[in-house]
Structure 1
Amino acid sequence: MIENKSKYSQFIKSEAKRLGFLSCGISKAGFLETEAPRLESWLKNNAHGQMAYMENHFDKRLDPTLLVEDSKSVVSLLLNYYPSEIQNPESPKISKYAYGQDYHFVIKEKLKELLFSIQNEIGEVSGRAFVDSAPVLDKAWAAKSGLGWIGKNSNLLTKSVGSFYFIAELILDLELEYDHAVTNHCGSCTACIDACPTEAIAAPYVVDGSKCISYFTIELKENIPSEMKGKFDDWAFGCDICQDVCPWNKFSKSHNEPLFNPNPDLLTMTRKDWQEITEETFRTVFKNSAVKRTKFEGLRRNLDFLK
């Protein structure tokens, strides 16, 4: 039985690699004890702003066995999205994760294929795939699975590749060989805290989501508060500041996923092109992109705010 656990775990990791995932770690499914008080406190302090969905399914967020019947293991996966080229430095900026096609669809397809391979190889295995769209604490599970540690900016950091990657999970009713958490390597560095223009990193390891540029430019549906004027550093959709300044991201290497390659026009658009963007250009440049989440009106609002 132990032999099988090891064999199955190695098979899953080799398949994940074949599908292009950066790395794969496995944890025993169960209640996330240390995360419970942190999540409760974060919600109590309204750090989620208008993201009311964060209040839903509190118990399921902390315990995947309530989410997937008979679940035994959480398989965490990382997929690199660091681009080989970035936008024109004179133009308003969008987060690097949104350059190409919406990651939800790209990763879901890979996870479906991984689950199919597992069932094909091992037999009757039930499971569910999650990509940032259900009450799963992705970063906590990835850290528990030894894929990195949670940094002071609350992102998952990895020594060899930094933090420009997506996190996804397969929750399975299969017992596997479990990995162990790695040590924290942030040390005394406060680069992310010092660089955040809106002071969203309230304290080391505590991010006030309601002050984050990503929140204002994506999640907030009403007007951006006037006191934030001049603090966005030209970010029109999302924000990468706390990742860009992180020393571990010196090790980021560009991805090799064609679907994450941007529309070439995105890289050459000037400030004038952005300010004069039409709905038709928006639809062309951001076809199938995560930027569509903010809709044309939302992006227009963000661009007007940067003027």
Structure 2
Amino acid sequence: MINKERHSHWIKNEAARLGFTACGISKAAFLEEEASHLEQWLSNNYHGEMRYMENHFDKRLDPSLLVPGSKSVISLMYNYFPHQHQDKESYQISKYAYGQDYHHVIKDKLKDLVKAMQLEMGSFHARVFTDSAPIMERAWARKSGLGWLGKHSLLISKKKGSFFFLAEIILDLELSYDTPFKTDHCGSCTKCIDACPTDAILPNNTIDGSKCISYFTIELKDAIPGQFKGQFDDWMFGCDICQDVCPWNRFSTPNKESDFDADERLLKYSKADWQDITKEVFNEIFKISAVKRTKFEGFKRNIEFLKK
């Protein structure tokens, strides 16, 4: 077995040891197919007020602009499906935000993986990413053989569903590459499209981000448009509707990451509790959570919008 094959096998074993759900490797190259899709998506203003999506267009498509001389992209999955869930009668928070901010948890694991790789394989240049730079994570994951893009545009794994974070290591080391995932196992199913209350899921695996509940409750800084009143199904931060109805998520299993465990108050609070939440309690519950991205004022805005 030549080095690049042995190294690739070793990387996948080490990734599994660190808790990653899956690992695939693809050749670093310009994303030609995705370029026109991204351009069209932006020209249709599907990014709404997320103006940062217009920045670094070339970097999103060319890994060599992120890591000069890059040869490989390692794509990884990390399960976040929770053990316990919120009271269904209460306001809802997307499952990915139940515990500690995933950026910190996963980035630390990525850095540990790179250090172990350098001890095993010698010196190389690399950068690690988890939703933290202009990189098309789902495209690389598909190219690395980890799954396909569902109609809701999220990556789906036949064995794991879709409740997982994606992460990448771009490096200037040649490795053995996996076969891209080319089949689509959604078939004629339209459950995610039918369930989306704001009609944000469009044909051809496209999301109109400017209509997505996650966009309104996390990204939008202004007032939520009144025309969407009554359409949020009690989601106050993010939204899991399209994933909750997906048949492939019957294969989701609880994660093994203690840092993703939820504060008991998050699980048990009623609508009245959330409506009465103070800034101090907000900071306690979400001290190291992705929910802090909305700030207390944005969180209260979302709750007020949900009130009947």
Do they fold alike, i.e. is TM over 0.5? yes
In structure 2, how many angstroms separate the alpha carbons of the residues matched to 1:33 and 1:151? Answer: 20
Q: What's the offset of the Cα at 1:289?
A: 0.3
1:13-67: CA deviation from partner (whole Å, max 9, x where unpaired):
0110000000000000001111011000000000000101100111110110111
Q: Name the counterpart of 2:16.
A: 17
Cα shift at 1:90: 1.4
SS of the residue 1:106 aligns to = helix
CA displacement at 1:127 relative to structure 2: 0.2
- 1:226 matched residue in structure 2: 226
* Aligned-partner residue type, residue 148 of structure 2: W
1:125 matched to 2:124? The reply is yes
Deviating 4+ runs (over 3 angstroms)? none
Whole-Å Cα distance in 2 between the matches of residues 94 and 41 of structure 1? 31
The residue number in structure 2 matching 1:264 is 264
Q: What residue in structure 2 maps to residue 140 of structure 1?
A: 139
SS state at 1:305 partner: helix
Q: How does 1:99-178 map to 2 (within 5 A)?
A: 99-178=98-177
Work out whether residues 148 and 156 of structure 1, in 8 Å CA contact, stay in contact via their aligned partners in 2. yes
- Name whichever of 46-55 and 202-211 sits farther off: 202-211
Alignment-derived partner of residue 215 in structure 2 = 215
Q: Classify the secondary structure of the residue corresponding to 2:216.
A: helix
Q: 2: CA distance between counterparts of 1:185 and 1:30?
A: 26
The Cα of 1:125 is off from its aligned counterpart by 1.4
Amino acid at match of 1:240: D
Determine whether 1:205 maps to 2:200. no
Counterpart of 2:133, as a letter, is A
Superposition map of 1:219-298 within 5 A? 219-298=219-298
Partner secondary structure for residue 118 of structure 2: helix
Q: Does the residue aligned with 1:128 lie in a helix, a strand or coil?
A: strand
Separation of aligned partners in 1, 2:215 and 2:85: 22
1:283 shift after superposition? 0.7
| Identity rate, percent | 63
The AA in structure 2 aligned to 1:199 is D
CA distance in 1, matches of 2:162, 2:30: 25
Letter of the 1:116 counterpart: K
The equivalent residue for 1:301 is 301
Q: 2: distance between equivalents of 1:204 and 1:59?
A: 23
Residue in 1 that maps onto 2:4: 5
Contact 1:153 1:204 (C-alpha < 8 Å) held by counterparts: no
SS at match of 2:86: coil
Q: What is the one-letter code of the residue matched to 1:130?
A: F
| Maintained 8 Å contact 1:193/1:204 | no
SS in 2 for 1:61: helix
Unaligned runs of 5+ in 1: none
Q: Per-residue CA shift, 1:85-132, capped at 9, x if unaligned?
A: 100111100000000000000001000000000000000111000110
Q: Which amino acid aligns with 1:245?
A: V
The secondary structure found in structure 1 opposite 2:88 is coil
TM-score (normalised: structure 2): 0.98
Corresponding letter in the other structure for 1:61:
R
Structure 2 SS opposite 1:25: strand
Deviations 1:219-251, CA, capped at 9 Å, x for gaps: 000000000000000000000000000000011
TM-score normalized with structure 1 length? 0.99
Query: Could you tell me how far apart the structure 1 residues matched to 2:258 and 2:247 are?
Result: 27
Once residues 241 and 117 of structure 2 are traced to their aligned partners in structure 1, the CA distance between those partners, rounded to angstroms, is 38
